[in-house]
């Protein structure tokens, strides 16, 4: 499944990936999801997305071949492959910042390597394919525990750790009111995980009734449609005795929908239409001294923070790509114990050859789609 240009993707034959480094493995993909992050690529909003790049950073598969220095895996293992490509040894990996690995993407100043995520993220081909080359195979890939449903396993590559880390970065204190913008798979998981950190109240905001209905039951939580509000910031202020939420999570990212007008301390302020609306709502609806946790993805040079309000309210902004490897052990346990049930979010199973249809359905939010999985 590879990129042809904005909103054009197609499945085509490419040469079989090869071991290029002694620590590489070749993995035969068994399941590969489409993510909200893929939509930034699909819409042509990630710099240096080259025609022919195979997308896909959320995949599991069977180890087909290993390089001579791979000792943690053997041929035939069925593995969860974190979306981040991490060397495990650099300054950042040693701190558990596996999403910021230096070695896997030394050209970049920000993000580490990511499968199928443009040359900005290292230019690696992704896993929406039959086979994929997995670098640093001793570091990221983790054998799927016996008995785990592959549909749960594939969501441990990204969505579960990202939602969990969104809640974790929020620094939620017992009893806190947490507001989550976005009821896509990431926001849904962030809402559910907020309870694990002791939230007292969880409110999700989105525009699609079917997603609001799902998260209401699944998290479970309150869920509201911003299309039915005059101003989501005022709505949240009202719902919190005019204090603002303790913690707000941005699980939307670039290309956010919503009104370009919003109220800031009673005055209408123009923000760029269709850009970072959720981030602005988040900053303006969190309480003074509160924390905004951002997992929504933005372009490397996006410059969209209303900094005056951040300073004057004394806010803490926390953000990152999820550090999948750091979180995997505890999240595998949560799935095994039934604390988290990620596979409930999978609404569509599509053969890999129909990936272009799946992209359109997921992008346009058709057919009550929450999470599509491609099956090679
Ligand atoms: P998705 O496209 O399924 O969901 C996004 C949701 O946001 C949609 O339901 C949409 O209606 C809603 N939305 C749009 N504008 C909004 C607004 N102004 N207010 C509230 N909701 C709004 O995507 P997803 O898979 O859930 O991913 C969500 C975001 O998380 C994306 O930006 C994605 O790139 C990012 N992401 C980050 C990481 C990470 O490691 N940081 C990992 C995975 C995904
Ligand atoms: Zn993803």
Asked whether the beta carbons of 251 and 190 are under 8 A apart, the reply is yes
By alpha-carbon position, which residue is closest to atom 40 of ligand 1? 321
- What is the pLDDT, as a whole number, of residue 262? 45
**% of the chain residues with pLDDT over 90:** 87
Using omega within 30 degrees of 0 as the cis cutoff, is the peptide bond preceding 23 cis? no
- What is the pLDDT, as a whole number, of residue 111? 85
Exposure string (b/e) for 159-177, b if CB count within 10 Å is 16 or more? bbbbbbbbbbbbebeeebb
CATH architecture under which domain 2-158+323-375 falls: Alpha-Beta Complex (3.90)
What is this structure's pTM?
0.96
| Structure confidence by residue, pLDDT tens digits, 15-63 | 999 999 999 999 999 999 999 999 999 998 888 999 999 999 999 999 9
- What is the pLDDT, as a whole number, of residue 159? 98
User: What's the whole-number average pLDDT of the chain?
Assistant: 94
- Residue 109 makes CB contacts below 8 A (sequence gap 6+) with none
- What is the pLDDT, as a whole number, of residue 258? 74
Residues with CB under 6 A from ligand 1: 35-37, 39-40, 158, 162, 181-187, 205-208, 211, 226, 251-253, 256-258, 277-278, 295-297, 321-322
Ligand 1 pocket, mutate which of 34, 37, 282, 323 (most atoms under 8 A from CB): 37
274 pLDDT more than 70: no
Sign of the alpha-carbon dihedral angle for 321, 194, 188, 353? positive
For the chain, how many helices (H) and strands (E)? 10, 19
264 pLDDT more than 70: no
Q: What's the gap in Å between 40 CA and the centre of ligand 1?
A: 10
Select the more confidently predicted residue: 91 or 267: 91
345 pLDDT more than 90: yes
302 pLDDT more than 90: no
Q: What's the gap in Å between 250 CA and the centre of ligand 1?
A: 8
H or E stretch including 215? helix 209-218
SS3 string of 142-165?
EECCCCCCHHHHHHCCCHHHHHHH
CA–CA separation, 282 and 209 (whole Å): 21
Asked whether the beta carbons of 36 and 82 are under 8 A apart, the reply is no
271 pLDDT more than 50: no
- What is the pLDDT, as a whole number, of residue 275? 55
| Structure confidence by residue, pLDDT tens digits, 180-235 | 999 999 999 999 999 999 999 999 999 999 999 999 999 999 999 999 998 899 99
- What is the pLDDT, as a whole number, of residue 259? 57
267 pLDDT more than 70: no
131: which 2 tokens?
A: 């086979």
Instruction: Name the residue ranges covered by the structural domains of the chain.
Output: 2-158+323-375, 162-319
- Cα 62 to its chain centre, rounded Å, is 23
Asked whether the beta carbons of 323 and 164 are under 8 A apart, the reply is no
Long-range CB pairs of 175-178, under 8 A, 24+ apart, other chains included: 175/199, 175/200, 176/200, 176/201, 176/246, 176/247, 177/201, 177/202, 177/203, 177/240, 177/245, 177/246, 177/247, 178/202, 178/203, 178/245, 178/246, 178/247, 178/248, 178/249
141 pLDDT more than 50: yes
Radius of gyration for the chain, computed over Cα atoms and rounded to the nearest angstrom: 20
| Structure confidence by residue, pLDDT tens digits, 103-123 | 999 887 678 999 999 999 999
β-sheet bridge partners, residue 10: 2
CATH classification (class only), 162-319: alpha beta
- What is the pLDDT, as a whole number, of residue 350? 98
ipTM of the complex: 0.99
Asked whether the beta carbons of 288 and 279 are under 8 A apart, the reply is no
Which of 124, 132, 153 shows the shortest CA–CA distance to 60?
153
CA–CA separation, 322 and 59 (whole Å): 15
266 pLDDT more than 50: no
Q: What number is the average pLDDT over the span 271-290?
A: 81
Which of 114, 81, 165, 145 shows the shortest CA–CA distance to 332?
145
């Amino acid at each position: 499944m590879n990129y042809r240009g904005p909103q054009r993707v197609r499945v085509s034959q490419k040469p079989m990936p090869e071991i290029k480094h002694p620590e590489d493995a070749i993995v035969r993909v068994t399941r590969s999801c489409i993510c909200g992050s893929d939509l930034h690529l699909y819409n042509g909003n990630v710099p240096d997305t080259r025609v022919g790049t195979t997308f896909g950073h959320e995949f599991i598969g069977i180890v087909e071949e290993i390089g001579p220095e791979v000792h943690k895996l053997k041929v035939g293992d069925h593995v969860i492959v974190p979306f981040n490509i991490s060397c495990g040894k650099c300054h950042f990996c040693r701190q558990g910042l596996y999403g910021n690995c230096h070695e896997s993407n030394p050209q970049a100043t920000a993000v580490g390597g990511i499968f199928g995520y443009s040359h900005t993220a290292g230019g690696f081909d992704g896993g929406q394919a039959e086979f994929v080359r997995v670098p640093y195979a001793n570091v990221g890939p983790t054998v799927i525990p016996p008995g785990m449903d592959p549909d749960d396993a594939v969501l441990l590559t990204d969505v579960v750790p990202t939602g969990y880390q969104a809640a974790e970065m929020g620094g939620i204190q017992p009893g806190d009111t947490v507001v989550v913008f976005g009821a896509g798979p990431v926001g849904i998981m962030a809402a559910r995980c907020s309870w694990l950190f002791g939230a007292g109240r969880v409110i999700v905001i989105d525009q699609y009734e079917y997603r609001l209905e799902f998260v209401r039951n699944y998290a479970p939580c309150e869920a509201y449609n911003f299309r039915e509000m005059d101003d989501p910031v005022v709505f949240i202020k009202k719902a919190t005795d005019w204090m603002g939420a303790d913690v707000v999570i941005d699980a939307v990212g670039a290309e956010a929908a919503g009104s370009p007008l919003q109220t800031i301390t009673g005055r209408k302020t123009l923000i760029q239409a269709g850009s970072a609306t959720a981030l602005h709502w988040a900053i303006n609806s969190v309480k003074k001294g509160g924390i905004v946790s951002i997992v929504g993805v933005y372009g490397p040079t996006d410059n969209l923070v209303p900094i005056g309000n951040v300073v004057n309210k004394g806010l803490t902004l926390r953000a990152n790509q999820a550090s999948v490897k750091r979180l995997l052990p505890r999240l595998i346990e949560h799935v095994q114990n039934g604390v988290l049930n990620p596979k409930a979010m999978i609404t569509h199973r599509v053969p890999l050859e129909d990936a272009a249809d799946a992209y359109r359905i997921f992008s346009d939010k058709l057919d009550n789609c929450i999470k599509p999985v491609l099956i090679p």
